[in-house]
Structure formats: C-alpha cells, structure tokens
Amino acid sequence: MRPRVVVTKDIGKEPLARLAKHAEVVLLPPEWTAVELIHHLQTSEALLCNVTDTIDKALLRACPGLRMISNYGVGINHIDIACAREQQIIVTNTPGVLTEATADLTWALLLDVSRRVSEGDRLVREGKWAGWEPLFMLGREVSGKCLGIIGMGRIGQAVAQRAKGFRMPVIYHSRRRLPEEREKELGAQYVDLEQCLSEADYVSIHCPYTPETYHLIGAFELERMKPTAFLVNTARGPIVDETALIKALKDGRIAGAALDVYEDEPYVPMELRQLEQVVLAPHLGSATEETRLAMADMAVNHLIAYFQGETPPNVVC
C-alpha cells in the first residue's frame, strides 16, 4: 500500500508531481479547517505544512499515525516540537535556500524606508506630485551609516555582506559570537544589545523566534534607539512589540520602520497602516521564483527520503 501525505498548500505542479511518484498526495483546498486536516491526517503518515499552519498538540495527538512532518520554511514555532518529539514524529525544515532572497528583501525595505520610495509612489499615483522642489520629500542617505544586526545567522551575515557595497560599519548582537576571522571578513563588530540599538542608524532583525525572543524589541529597547534611526524586521513579527513600535513611531522616538512580518499575520493594525514613515510588505522574504522552488524541492526531498527508508536531511526533531 502506498504511503499517504497531506499537503496544506499548493507548492507548484512539478514538486507535487515528483512527490506523487512516491506517495498518494492529498492537497487540501485553499480554505481548509483544522477538522479537515485532522480527518485526512488520521489516515496519513506524513504532512507537508507551511509556516502559517498551526500544528499544535491537539492536532498531533488526534493523529497517532503521523510519522513525518516536512515544513516548507525555516521557522518551526508553529509546530509543537515537544509533542512531536514525544510522539516520535520526524520534523524537518528548509534552511539555507532562502538566505539570499531574504537578505535582498531586507535591503529593499531598508532603502525604501530611508529614501521614502513607497511614500513617493503613493503620492504620484494619487496625482498629488506638483513637481521637483529643493526640499521636497527629503530622505536619509544610507551609504556610510552604521548598520546594527540582531541575529547573525545565515541571513544576518548575508545582510552584513551587502553592507560592504554601501561602506557601512556593521555592529551586531547574537546568541553566539562569530569567529574572529568571520567578523573580519564581514567587517562586523560584536556588541551587546543595548549598544547595538543605541549606535546603529539602521537596526535589522534576523534572530529566530523563540520564547526568549518574544517582544525582544519593546518600549525599553526602542527608547535606546536614535530618533533618526530606522527599524527593519524580516524575521518574525512577535519579536517586535507592535503596540510599543506604533507608539515610538507616533511619538517620533524613531524615524521609521520597514516590516515584512507582523504579530498576528495577516492582520496589520490600522494605526500601523496609517503611518507614512512605515513601509509594509506582505511577508515577501523568500518570495522569489527561484527560492520558493528550491524550498518546495527540499521539502519534497525530505519526504521522499523518509518514504525510501532513509533519514531525511535537516531534521529538527
């Protein structure tokens, strides 16, 4: 009997066709419910899920036959890993393949908020542009300014590498300090969190979302930033206290923010949407054709390895 795998979202025809050669594939409809997912998982041994799916204890315990979860994405905070481990369910993710795309988007957001590109785009589209003026829509130069990175993993390092082109000094704070040789390669200096916040002209967040990093950036941390500084977040929404950020922006405590992620996606507070000094993207970090295909291929490869009796790569539990 062929193994059965439930796929929560369409990840592309070619990856799904390749997966179908090794298992029966059940692709859920776009608006599926937890009840539907549990119904299908009760007769399936594998799941290919996304970072927006909630794979909690109640779901896992309702599906005792589930043996493998292939996560399409790096973050795994939406999966109850402790329960998966307890039930001896293999969980994999897709690290590495989205590094360059997310680093590119970080710079797109940083440049956008600094030079007021989206704000200007809205002005032009609304027919409110009256022509060039010497003091019209002045932004801030990026070149030569200090970049502060919080979380110096793969993506943080890729962002730091790009800073060289803008002749920017880089300071960073991370759970683990990089080897001295790597710091020299990147031109990066390790500092504590408070110094990173207080000295940087641009603070870019790249740490993983864990219980320890929940609201890592709150009112106290925002108070440490320069009033001329910008906050960029392409990591996870709950790392930043959204309420505190809105207040800091309204009070002019910081100059602006560029966000790709939010506390309660896809909900974005109206107060945040109404602020002109904020650039808002709809979670586009890995959204390139090349990266999403690579993520799909990796997630499918993990399942194929499992179906063939091998240990899949990138096992997180």
**Which residues belong to the active site?**
236, 265, 283
Asked if 263 and 238 touch (Cβ cutoff 8 Å), the reply is yes
Tell me the CA distances in angstroms from 13 to 16, 131, 290, 304, one per residue in order: 5, 48, 15, 16
Q: 203 - beta bridge partners?
A: 148, 231
Q: Indicate the residue type of 232.
A: V
Cα angle 93, 294, 178; round to 5 = 60
| Beta-sheet pairing, 147-150 with 202-205 | parallel
Task: Name 22's Cβ contacts closer than 8 Å, sequence gap at least 6.
Answer: 3, 303, 304, 307, 308
Q: Is the dihedral of CA 276, 279, 282, 283 positive or negative?
A: negative
* CA 103 distance to own-chain centroid: 10
Which pair of tokens denotes residue 63? 């599906």
Q: From 49, 24, 12, 19, select the one nearest 34 (Cα to Cα).
A: 49
DSSP 8-state secondary structure symbol assigned to residue 166: G
Q: How far apart are CA 220 and CA 184, in angstroms?
A: 31
Residues 6+ apart with CB under 8 A from 235: 151, 155, 205, 206, 207, 208, 209, 261
- Sheet with 202-205, strands from edge to edge, namely 188-190, 170-173, 147-150, 202-205, 230-233, 256-259, 278-280
